[in-house]
């Protein structure tokens, strides 16, 4: 895929749980995405697993990962991803948001959570690209879209902006799903189909108003934290042309649709 000279694309990734590392197809797909991108100078990532207001910057030095999951095999807690911190990027984010209604705080001890490092391990396995994680200060779609717009100039500076969530996410409603390749429940398939159509049509307003426009919205997202990183991606990718699907299909019944703009 081509990319505008001097401008990085932006991504929304369905990041999966730690066992994603055992899924040969999905890990290859993530590796293929990064192989098709210009090499970023740094990554700025917004994960479904960090909501904090005011907006907070994670560690700008290498600190331990946040293993924010329970009940998995011990080997998933042994994963390491010592990516360099990105203090210069943190300074740029503060500058871009200075004077806006989005104050910026810092949490120097807060490492990357699994919404950040699970996909990055597959995309940049050498852990040699500086990474900065930024919290979601709100789940309000238009506020997050505006945040993405404000961060968009980073693309001109070689920064890869990633929103990391899951295109459908209702673990409590998956009791009848048996296995990674199970037929998805109707609510997941209907929401995924709707999302693909409105995104391909460029109907961003409907995406931002998904709770009233999408079929099965409340089932697909009882809380919107896994869909919300998409709003940051869409704002950062404003005026970048069509939204393109780079991964689709289902994983334990959840839509793993991932997207690229630019």
pLDDT per position as a tens digit, 93-113:
999 999 888 999 999 999 999
Determine the length of the chain: 262
What is the mean predicted confidence (pLDDT) over 52-63?
98
State how far the Cα of 82 lies from the Cα of 85, in Å rounded to an integer: 9
Tell me which residue has tokens 């100039």: 153
Q: In this predicted structure, what is the pLDDT of residue 3? A: 43
| Range name among 137-141, 150-154, 249-253 with the lowest pLDDT average | 249-253
**Sign of the dihedral defined by the CA atoms of residues 18, 20, 24, 30, in that order:** negative
State how far the Cα of 232 lies from the Cα of 144, in Å rounded to an integer: 5
Structural domains of the chain, ranges and CATH numbers in brackets: 10-183+222-261 (3.40.830.10)
Q: Which residues pair with 159 in a beta bridge?
A: 42
Q: Which stretches of 161-213 are DSSP H helices?
A: 186-200, 204-208, 210-213
Q: Which band of pLDDT confidence, cut at 50, 70 and 90, is reported for residue 179?
A: confident
Judged against a pLDDT cut of 80, whether residue 249 lies above it is answered with yes
Task: Say if residue 54 is preceded by a cis peptide, omega within 30 of 0.
Answer: yes
* CA atoms within 13 Å, Cβ hemisphere of 86: 28
Tell me which residue has tokens 């500086």: 130
Please name which of 197, 195, 203, 181 lies closest in space to residue 254, comparing C-alpha atoms. 181
Contact between 70 and 193 (Cβ < 8 Å):
no
State how far the Cα of 112 lies from the Cα of 47, in Å rounded to an integer: 9
Burial status of residue 67 (CB atoms within 10 A of its CB: 0-12, 13-18, 19 or more): middle
Termini Cα distance of the chain: 9
pLDDT per position as a tens digit, 16-44:
899 999 999 999 999 999 999 999 999 99
Judged against a pLDDT cut of 70, whether residue 1 lies above it is answered with no
Please name which of 221, 244, 248 lies closest in space to residue 233, comparing C-alpha atoms. 244
Q: In this predicted structure, what is the pLDDT of residue 5? A: 45
Judged by DSSP in three states, 52 sits in coil
Q: Which band of pLDDT confidence, cut at 50, 70 and 90, is reported for residue 196?
A: very high
| Range name among 3-17, 135-149, 178-192, 208-222 with the lowest pLDDT average | 3-17
Please name which of 228, 244, 238, 155 lies closest in space to residue 204, comparing C-alpha atoms. 238
């Amino acid at each position: 895929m081509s990319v505008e000279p001097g401008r990085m694309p932006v991504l929304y990734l369905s990041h999966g749980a730690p066992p994603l590392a055992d899924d040969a197809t999905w890990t290859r797909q993530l590796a293929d995405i990064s192989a098709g991108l210009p090499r970023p100078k740094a990554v700025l990532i917004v994960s479904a697993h960090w909501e904090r207001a005011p907006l907070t910057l994670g560690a700008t030095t290498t600190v331990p990962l946040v293993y924010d999951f329970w009940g998995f095999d011990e080997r998933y807690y042994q994963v390491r991803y010592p990516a360099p911190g990105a203090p210069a990027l943190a300074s740029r984010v503060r500058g871009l948001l200075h004077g806006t209604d989005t104050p910026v705080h810092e949490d120097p001890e807060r490492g990357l959570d699994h919404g950040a490092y699970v996909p990055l391990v597959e995309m940049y396995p050498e852990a040699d690209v500086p990474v900065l994680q930024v919290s979601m200060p709100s789940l309000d779609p238009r506020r997050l879209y505006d945040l993405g717009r404000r961060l968009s100039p980073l693309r001109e500076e070689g920064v890869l902006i990633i929103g990391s969530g899951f295109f459908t996410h209702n673990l409590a409603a998956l009791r009848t799903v048996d296995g990674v390749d199970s037929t998805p429940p109707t609510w997941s398939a209907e929401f995924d189909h709707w999302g693909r159509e409105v995104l391909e049509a460029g109907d961003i307003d409907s995406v931002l108003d998904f709770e009233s426009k999408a079929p099965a919205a409340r089932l697909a997202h009882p809380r919107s934290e896994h869909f919300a990183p998409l709003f940051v991606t869409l704002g950062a990718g404003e005026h970048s042309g069509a939204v393109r699907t780079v991964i689709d299909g289902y994983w334990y019944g959840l839509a793993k649709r991932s997207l690229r703009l630019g």
